[in-house]
Each structure stands twice: as structure tokens, then as C-alpha cells.
Structure 1
Amino acid sequence: MNASQRIDVHQHIVPPVWAKALNDLGLDSGGWAIPAWSAADAIAMMDEQGIATGVLSVTAPGVHLSNNAPGKGTTTGTTTGTGTATGTGTGRSTDNQRAPQAQTLARAVNEYGAEMAKDHPTRIGSFASVPLPDVDAALEEAAYALDTLGADGVVLMSNTGGRYLGDPAFEPLWAELDRRAAVVFVHPAQPPMPLLPGTPAPVADYVFDTTRTALNMALNGVLSRHRKVKVILSHGGGFLPYAAYRFAGLNATALDTSRTAEDVIHDLKRFYFDTALAASPSSLPSLLAFAEPGHVLYGSDWPFAPQEAGTYYNRFLETYPDFAPGQAEAIDRGNAEALFPRLAQPKA
């Protein structure tokens, strides 16, 4: 398969209303500047990088910006060995606390993405943003985006105000997304701790937070309860593939002896993984050894990762010597076609 047929599941959109909202609050993406974006620039990049279609999403900090505004408190949470999440915090939204600004911003962002997809149906798709931690509003927006706007799936931040995606309060959203057999793209956010000095969150903390939320979901039973939802983890799953057996073995022997290590591994293997910033000689062997067949998808992370970064990681992907027959083509396109049937090419 020609590389120009790639489907990029990790590509971002920067709606003007979202960029303005961040600017007005003095926010960025974990210490990373918000880049300019246009559909024309996105398509030009895709043409140069061998990408046929990008499924676009708004990146961190998402749409619930009050959780990220300067001067807010922090929230911390823990998961017990019995799979029960607990948390305490200050200055953050509580369960279903209404945040009209987040609802309004989510709607504006999603309608902008839908317009871009409507204008460029073969080149642009969209993951809809939802205003967690307000579960009721998230349910409303997910239904509107999927049913009315025709979104290809939903994007969730790895944490919202320090609350991770295995939080029991989020169960109604997971149940609804499972009922719809939805595709969910999990993008990392800045974890509830100070940045590593001099190091923006996308460089180091994002891979940590992806791993953290994935483990939280698995240990709290989200994946075992909801078998139809398909969840894509960004950046090769952080360090989940490398550390999965550490997590599973320690959970089974020291935290929750009612679940075997194999049970936890089974749930962790339900995740899908994108290759954005994660295709390298050291990460690909671990990712491909852990991921189930069909569960690795191409990603670029443009424009937050510049085009030069895409070229750098594409080179590793294109020269990797140990792909099984057909595996490279599946990562470029075939595996994504299974998740997004509307993008599937007609069979010859």
C-alpha cells in the first residue's frame, strides 16, 4: 500500500474560539504554545507526509478550562486494590457541577470541526470534545456530536482537574459510549503536579499521564464492563506496553488478589495505540510485542508536533525491519479502516 493512503488518528485542530478562550485565560497546552491552524495548511501537510485523512481533535487542556485556569487548586486521587477510586481536592469541579462555559465551548469546537469535515469529507474527520467532569453535559454533547454532527468518535483528556478516566462518577458516560460502540481517543493532559522545571508537559508528563489513566481504567474495571467501546491511547500508550506486566503482576499479588495478572493483561490489551511520537527503534518492539493484532494506528500529532517531527518519526516507521507481512500497511491504514468504516476504500 502506498504511504499516501495513511489515516492519521492523532492530528489536531485549533478552532479560533478555543484558541481565543485559552488566550483569554492565559492558558496553553502544558507549557506548549498553541500553534496556528487552517484546513489548507493541514491538507498541505498531509499531502507531504503521505496522509490521506486526518481524524482531528482538540488537544489538552480540552474544553473544561476552569480546571486549568491559573490560581486553581489541585485534586489528587487514588485507586484501592478493590478497584474503588477515591479522591480529594480543592478548587475543582465536583460531580456534575455545571460549567456552562465548558458546554458552550464544546459545542462551538465540535461544530467547527464538523464544518471542516463537511467541507473536506475525504481528508478530515473529527473526534468530538465533551465537557467532563460534568457527566450530564458530556452525555448531552456526545449524543449531539455523534447523532447530529456525525463525529467519528469522542476525545477525552487523560485527566480533568486531576480526575482520571476510571473515576466511578464517569461510569454513565462509559456506559453510553459502550452502547454506541463508539471510538474514544484518549489524549494526555498535564497531570496534577508541577511541570518538570524547564520541560513542557508534552515532552515528558504526557506519556506519564496516558499511562496513569489507562491503568486507572483497567484496574477500576472500565474495560471489562464495556466490551464494545474502542479506546485509542496516544503516543504508543505512554509506557504502558513496556510496563504492563509490572502493573498486572503487582496488582494480582499485592493489591487485588481477586484478579489474576492475566485478567489485567487481558483488559490492557483491549486498548488501541497510535504511533504519534512513538515510532522509534526502541519503542516499536515493545509496542508491537504487546498490542493485539490490528490495534496499532498511525498518528502524527500535527500541528503541536511540527512537520519536521512527523518526518523524523515516519523515517523510523518506514525503515523498521521487523514488521510482519502486511503489518506496516495495516498500521498506515487498514487498522483505522476497521474503526472508521466510512473511511474504508472500496474493495477491488
Structure 2
Amino acid sequence: MNSPRRIDVHQHIVPPVWAKVLGDLGLDSGGWAIPAWSVADAIAMMDEQGIATGVLSVTAPGVHLTGSTGSTGNSPNSPNSPNSGSKSGISGAPLPQALARAVNEYGAEVAKDHPTRFGSFASLPLPDVDAALEEAAYALDTLGADGVVLLSNTAGRYLGDPAYEPLWAELDRRAAVVFVHPAQPPMPLLPGTPAPLADYVFDTTRTAVNMVLNGVLSRHRQVKVILSHGGGYLPYAAYRFSGLTSTVLDPERTSDDVIRDLKRFYFDTALAASPSSLPALMEFAEPGHVLYGSDWPFAPQEAGTYYNRFLETYPGFAPGQAAAIDRGNAEALFPRFARPGA
């Protein structure tokens, strides 16, 4: 494309220090190989895919390396424990806070060197809440991060966990943008099926429901939470969650209350722009809440082309919706990327 226009909120970075640590420990992303990455390759891909700006994030397994990609069970450390995050679950793994600081500084340098082409979501060393608060302040105030990335679960703890309340309160105070990326759920992989193929969409749905049922979205209305991959199964199953919650799980809570909180989420289109998923996503999402995503380089450029074709030919968009997904909705979340006169 001659004039790249899209803002890609789901684009990944592979900091060398992170790639080396994972390689040394024999880890990957839920059975998915860690790809090569460079600024030059990212910009070349973006130019070919019509992407003006990519907001970069580190994907699963993130910075809290609790075990192999097939690890199950919960972390032995409570998120509020003084020792939480101070020990690594794997011999030789760096402390989560140190690894978070390293990858965040690397991402910030890339964004600083190419301010119109890249932004950054900062990684936080959950489940250590105190360390996550410290790193969020440093990343947002000192490094100028555009938001934070949280994994759907860390060592089996989901984002609606009551222990995470201080972090949500601080992110809400800042009206921060939070990008939620899936991680492998705390169960074995299906044989021959890496987590990104199926488990990731399940885990995004799981953490979103956990957040809503525990009141995170109703208490914290200033924070903007983006769910990866079209929200997993959430748009398709939202009324299952609302109807059963109000009639069986919590009769004091109306179905409209549950739907209202589910609709507070934002959604990216990474691997989710298709003839079967777009109708559910566009019917469910609030106006302005659908954003473009590529998932590059963990999804190769050929995959981006495949899903872009569906996005570009979808017949169900109202006037202006396609342009808003490509760019306008993201400009509202990230005003620094807004083009003059836009």
C-alpha cells in the first residue's frame, strides 16, 4: 500500500534478552516457536500490510517464567507475599521484575527511535502486585509507554483475582490502556495442538468473564481493556454468560448489568477477522471498541494477508466502520498517533 494507515494494537516485539532467556531455558509460547524479529523486518511488514504504527508487546510466556510451556498448577507465591516474584520457578531464570525492566526499556528505545511507527505496551511482573505497581509507574511515567500488557493468566491466576485489585485501581486512576494477551491455561496442551491454535482464545474468554464476575469492569470505568483475537469466544457467548449469571449464579445481578460490563471491553481483530466471527464481533462490540490487530510475527505475514482480505471485503460494515477499525478507534485511545486534521 502506498499510504500505510492502520494502527496495529496487537503487534509483538521479541527483545533479544527475552529471546535468549527463553532459548536458554527451552521455553516457547505455548508450543509455538519464538520467531525472529527486527525493526527493519517489522517496518517492511507494516509497509506491505498498510500499517502506519504498531503498538508493540511481549507475548506469552511473558516475564514470569514459572515452568515449561506444559506447566500446570499455581505459583507457590501469593501475589501479596513479600516473596512473591522474588524467586523464579525455573532454575537460572531471571527475576520477573528484572526481565520486565529489560524488555520494557528495549521496547521504549524502539518507540523512541521510531516515534511514528511504534508504540509500546509495558510488561508487568505479575503475580507480584507491588512489583507490578512499581514497574507500571516506571514504564508509564519514565519510559513513556502507551499502556501495559497483562497476560490472561499468570501461574494460574486470572485477572479478576481479588489480590490484583490495587493494580486495577492504579491503572484506573491513570485511565490506562491495558492490552490483555492470552497465555496457556493451567492445563496440559492438547496433543499436537499448540496453545495459540485453540487454548489462547479460550483463555482470553476465561479471564474476561472472571474480570466481569469479580466486578473489575464495574468498579474501574476509566481503564480501557483491549481483549486479543476478537475477545476469544466472548462476543459469541456473551448472552450465555449474562443469562446464566443472573438466573443461576447471582440473582441479585441483572443480565443487563453483566452485558453492560462485558461491553466495556475493546477488541482487536488479530486472527479474528473472518466471515463467521466479524458478524458476532460487530453486533456485540460498542461503537469505537474494535481495533485492528495483526499478531505479527507470531502470526506470519501470510496470515495477516489472509485475515486482511476478509476485513477489507466484509460487506456488513456501516459507513465509516472500516476506517474506524483501521485507525480512528485507536486514535481515540492513543491520541499521540492521531494524524493532523484527523
Say whether the 8 Å CA contact 2:28–2:69 is kept in structure 1: no
Deviation, 1:346, is 1.1
Q: Does 1:36 align with 2:36?
A: yes
Residue matched to 1:218: 212
In the alignment, the residues of structure 2 paired with residue 347 and residue 60 of structure 1 have an alpha-carbon distance, to the nearest angstrom, of 37
Q: Does 1:334 align with 2:328?
A: yes
Q: Does 1:295 align with 2:312?
A: no
Which amino acid letter does the alignment assign opposite residue 255 of structure 1? L
List runs of 5+ in structure 1 lacking aligned partners. Answer: 76-90
Which amino acid letter does the alignment assign opposite residue 148 of structure 1? T
Deviation, 1:3, is 7.0
Residue matched to 2:89: none
Residue matched to 1:11: 11
Residue matched to 1:99: 85
Which amino acid letter does the alignment assign opposite residue 14 of structure 1? V
- The within-5 A match list for 1:238-253 is 238-253=232-247
In the alignment, the residues of structure 1 paired with residue 243 and residue 71 of structure 2 have an alpha-carbon distance, to the nearest angstrom, of 37
1:7–1:70 CA distance, 2 compared to 1 (3 A): closer
Deviation, 1:193, is 0.5
Q: Deviations over 1:264-309 (max 9, x none)?
A: 0000000000000000000000000000000000000000000000
Q: Deviations over 1:182-208 (max 9, x none)?
A: 000000000001111100000000000
User: Is the partner of 2:4 in helix, strand or coil?
Assistant: helix
The one of 270, 279, 287 aligned to 1:285: 279
- The within-5 A match list for 1:199-214 is 199-214=193-208
1:71–1:46 CA distance, 2 compared to 1 (3 A): closer
Which amino acid letter does the alignment assign opposite residue 47 of structure 2? D
User: Is the partner of 1:55 in helix, strand or coil?
Assistant: strand
Residue matched to 1:74: 73
The TM-score with structure 1 as length reference comes to 0.93
Residue matched to 1:118: 112
Q: Deviations over 1:109-157 (max 9, x none)?
A: 0000000000100001000000000000000000000000000000000
Matched residues, percent identical?
Answer: 84
- The within-5 A match list for 1:127-146 is 127-146=121-140
Q: Please give the root-mean-square deviation of Cα atoms over the aligned residues, in Å.
A: 1.4
List runs of 5+ in structure 2 lacking aligned partners. Answer: 87-94
- The within-5 A match list for 1:161-200 is 161-200=155-194
User: Is the partner of 2:318 in helix, strand or coil?
Assistant: coil
